[in-house]
Amino acid sequence: MASSGNNRPRHANSPFAAHVEPDVEDFALADRVCHDTYGMGRVVGVDKSGLTVDFGSSTRRIETPFRKMTKL
């Protein structure tokens, strides 16, 4: 059976452009952060898959990518 042609490379002006990964902000220990749900906090743990953040009333594990959180 013949291929349907799905193996061809996409052109730069294609409306079916490749998915672009969002930029992941870089966080370090003791960084102050603001989360849309939990509010203000401080980073207390960092590893390759996420952060542990102390929000005062609770400590939460935030997985990457950090869409709802910004560094202050």
Q: What is the pTM of this model?
A: 0.67
pLDDT in tens, 63-72: 988 889 999 9
Rounded-to-integer distance, Cα 59 and Cα 46, Å = 13
Sequence-ordered strand ranges (E) for 1-72? 32-35, 39-47, 50-54, 59-63, 69-71
Take residue 12 and report the two structure tokens written for it. 């730069």
Quickly state the pLDDT bin for 48 (edges 50, 70, 90): confident
- pLDDT above 90 as % of the chain: 53
Give 35 or 13, the one with higher predicted confidence.
35
Q: Which residue has the tokens 């409306």?
A: 15
